[in-house]
Amino acid sequence: MRAVVCDAWGPPESLRIGELPLPEPGPGQVRVRVHAAAANYPDALMVAGKYQFRPELPFAPGLEFSGVVSAVGDGVDTLHPGDKVVGTATHGAFAEEVVAEAGHLVALPADTGDEALAVAASFLLTYGTSWHALKDRAQAKAGETLLVLGAGGGVGLAAVELGKRMGLRVIAAASTQAKREAARSRGADATVDPGAGDFRDQVRAHAGKAGVDIVYDPVGGALTETALRTLAWGGRHLVVGFAAGEIPKVPANLLLLKGTALLGVFWGDFVRREPAASAANTRQLLQWLREGALQPLVSRRYPLSQAPAALSALLSREAVGKLLVLPQLAD
């Protein structure tokens, strides 16, 4: 099958388009013909050999996808060939076919059209991460103020949308006008520019002197400590990722002085360790998606041959919303 191939650890530019053997589903697994795969920051980390999980070389990256079931392994009776699904795998979605655990796939209605199926590929990881972060980790309450860093990216925009749905006042921090406008389009009450002037003063202008109740942080780097200093008494800082490329060292005294909490958000392990809670979250999110209450922003679609460019756009933080790779899209 045609696939994006990683032969050695390195930047996205080191990937090539080639052939990999058609994967066979083992017990409890399902093979899916990929309709669309989303480009995510962990994909780029995996290609560089810097992710928590290192597949055996060579492999195809890509962990989030939608498509149609083409084969099932022994013991799978919940899904059948021809079913439309959305799901995640450890890797392999930047290819014509991918194998995933049956428990990591969610069946979609049979009448799901091609466009809706493509958009679904952009949904599970970003909204799943942000819903788990705000609902389970921060235990956000209506009326609280949420500061979203990296608000123009996939998980950031999802956090903006979900925060508004939870009744939060949302301040969106993003580095470009286009990203700030995207956050506004998804309900942000106010926007700030981390690169313009004093960031704490910008946030205070919207949150007041008391500060914000929750910081959603998929960025890391120097901005983490600055954002941590904007928290109100009893605030919560959600550590979601490190898109800036630097893992920050946080002064522990900042947590002590304001009675704040630093909370890690690892959605992938949450799915594995708490499958029932994760499934309940996913059902709620998909219901909102079907109702049109959530509107994922897909800003660009790439053919399989340009998947490395999609990952490069993520690393350079150029992307607004989500980027999709479609194996059937003409070069």
Q: Count the alpha carbons within 13 Å of 148 in the hemisphere toward its beta carbon.
A: 35
Among candidates 159, 41, 36, which has minimal Cα distance to 86? 36
User: What is the four-CA torsion angle of 193, 195, 176, 93, rounded to 10 degrees?
Assistant: -100
pLDDT surpassing 80 at residue 330? no
Whether 81 shows a pLDDT value over 80: the answer reads yes
Determine phi and psi for 13, rounding to 5 degrees.
-65, -20
Q: What are the chain's domains? A: 2-122+296-326 (3.90.180.10), 128-267 (3.40.50.720)
pLDDT digits (tens, 9 = 90+) for 166-208: 999 999 999 999 999 999 999 999 999 998 889 999 999 999 9
Q: Is the dihedral of CA 147, 149, 155, 158 positive or negative?
A: positive
Q: pLDDT tens digits, residue range 112-125? A: 999 999 999 999 99
CA 324/CA 302 separation, integer angstroms: 6
66, pLDDT greater than 90:
yes
